[in-house]
Amino acid sequence: MNFQASSQDQFTNSGNLKLHPGSSISFYGNFANNGSLADNGQSLTFNGSSLQVISGTSDAAFNNLAINNTAGVRINCTVSVNNMLVLTKGPLVLNSNMLYIINNSASAVSRTTGYIVSEQADNSGRVKWNIGNIIDIYTIPFGNLSGNYIPVIFNHTAGNIGNVTASTYSTATNNTPYPLTPVAVTNVDDLSGNDNSANIIDRFWQIDKDGIDGTADITFTASESETGTLTDLLAQRWNSSTSEWDAPLPGQTSGDFSVTVPGVTTFSPWLVSGLNSTLAVELFDFNVLRDGNYAALNWSTLSETDNYGFNIEKSTDLISWNFCAFVSGSGNSQTQKMYTYNDDLAGNISQHDEEVYYRLRQIDFDNAFSYSEIKSITLNNNDMNDVICFVYPNPADSYINIMTSKPGLACNVKIYNQLGSLKGEYNMVNKTQLDVTGLSSGLYQIVISAVGSDKKFNYSIIKM
């Protein structure tokens, strides 16, 4: 059977519409499903020349759906496609509705020049694809309102990832509005709490899964205007438990307007930053520990751009800051760099200062600067304050070593992932070596608690 509805008409199903195998239908006007739709047909094509609308009081479940309309098709209800979605030309505008792809084949969605428009700041315009345990490369063919093709490429490499849900929307140049649902983002700040929107692509992505596990390499793509002059792109995931952007996973590959992130196991909101000025990662780690009459400062960066160096500044009242020393930076770097400095505390001890505060002032070659977070040490007679802890190597591949400076000190060690889930708990006396080969790649928090004391050490490590 072949059926055509004229371009001036709306086809309304108020009863029981059944499309039998081999049937082909083309609509040139709108389609309203107010009844029961049983589609087993060969093809159902929206073939108009002006905007067409799929609506109705009932969800629209199609077998094979084709979009062949340069002016586009907008959906005003939930739509599911059981077999094949063919985007020949024009946009399929989700308009705050869910599009379900039931077929778990990577070829279930194809395009010539067509694309899917999500573009809702509440992430309500979503694609939900039943991928399951199929290992393949899935392309979600998003486009923006200007017609730029900005796909999300989801390379499922391991596990049963279940349904993958994706949405994306563009923002103003200050990256507003921030996502509110399904996860609220509160900032795009750098480590110092400064707004970093000038170094961020004007777009957010929301990626979720409902499977029991699953690992994927994800490629995020933006338009040229959204990317601007940003280069050396890195994607970062919002961590709702810390209200910060996680460190970028290692091994990312940057294109002109896209970046591929390998080994993703944890999802949620994502953004892409550029110019190597990644959120909360220009300075990846900064710690200050007391070592006898010295303060041992240790910090590291994951990447640097035009980094002249660091001024170390010191205070006892958080009001007046004094210059301690200058440590040269690495200029431009894409690898982790480690820095150390030992500050003499003799003057503070003789003055009976109770607390000493430190911060880093990172300086570019053009004299632009930003501050790190503030760290402190306490000067008193409690010998636990003299204890220092070492965790290495970082990043780690197979093992991490943990050692304290106090012989016989019993400690409890806990390892948490980026979501705050406990991944391991151990007991140690003075030192230990932990096997981390079973941990997935990513950022972890190690909390070391001295038994019988409120003394704790917190470290962030990257598992390669």
Provide the mean pLDDT of the chain.
Answer: 89
In this prediction, residue 394 has a pLDDT band, given cuts at 50, 70 and 90, of confident
Most confident of 150-164, 227-241, 284-298: 150-164
Give the range among 38-52, 205-219, 325-339 with minimum mean pLDDT.
Answer: 325-339
User: Can you tell me whether residue 407 is helix, strand or coil?
Assistant: coil
Give the predicted TM-score (pTM) of the model: 0.63
Cα 187 from Cα 392, distance rounded (Å): 31
Percent of the chain residues past pLDDT 90, beyond the cut: 56
142 touches 151 (CB < 8 A)? yes
**Is residue 77 classed exposed, middle or buried when 0-12, 13-18 and 19+ CB atoms within 10 A define those classes?**
middle
pLDDT number for residue 349: 83
- Residue 113 pLDDT more than 50? yes
Is 389-463 in the same CATH topology as 282-378? yes
Percentage of residues of the chain with pLDDT beyond 70: 94
pLDDT at position 215, please? 96
The yes or no reply on domain 282-378 and CATH 2.60.40.2060 is: yes
Q: Is residue 241's pLDDT more than 50?
A: yes
**Confidence category of residue 383, pLDDT binned at 50, 70, 90:** low
- Report phi then psi at 179, rounded to 5: -60, 140
The pLDDT-based confidence of 277 (bands split at 50, 70, 90) is very low
What is the pLDDT, as a whole number, of residue 57?
Answer: 95
Q: How confident is the model at residue 190 (pLDDT cuts 50, 70, 90)?
A: low
| Higher-confidence position of 102 and 432 | 102
Q: Which own/partner pairs from 384-389 qualify as long-range (CB within 8 Å, at least 24 positions apart)?
A: 384/450, 384/453, 384/455, 385/290, 385/455, 386/290, 386/291, 386/292, 387/450, 387/455, 388/289, 388/290, 388/291, 388/296, 389/289, 389/448, 389/457, 389/459
Sequence length of the chain is 464
Looking at the predicted structure, is the pLDDT value of residue 138 above 90?
Answer: yes
Flag whether pLDDT at 49 surpasses 70: yes
Q: pLDDT band for position 169 (50/70/90)?
A: very high
Task: Give CATH superfamily name and number for 389-463.
Answer: Macroglobulin (MG2) domain (2.60.40.1930)
Q: How many helices (H) and strands (E) does the chain have?
A: 2, 41
In the predicted model, is pLDDT for residue 405 greater than 50? yes
pLDDT of residue 281: 40
Stretch among 256-265, 359-368, 377-386, 394-403 having the lowest mean pLDDT: 377-386
Q: What is the mean pLDDT of residues 119-146?
A: 97
* CB distance 23 to 42 below 8 Å: yes
pLDDT at 87: 99
Does the pLDDT at position 367 exceed 80?
no
Per-residue model confidence (pLDDT) at position 381: 43
Distance, CA of 298 to CA of 286 (rounded, Å): 6
* Least trusted range by pLDDT, from 114-123, 207-216, 422-431: 422-431
Domain residue spans of the chain = 2-275, 282-378, 389-463
Nearest one of 178, 202, 197, 200 to 121, comparing CA atoms: 178
CB 223 within 8 A of CB 287: no
Please, what sign has the CA dihedral across residues 158, 302, 203, 221?
A: negative
> Going along 348-388, which residue ranges are E strands?
355-364, 369-371, 375-378
Mean pLDDT for 144-166 is 97
Q: How confident is the model at residue 148 (pLDDT cuts 50, 70, 90)?
A: very high
Residue 280 binned pLDDT confidence (cut-offs 50, 70, 90): very low
Per-residue tokens: 66: 């084709």
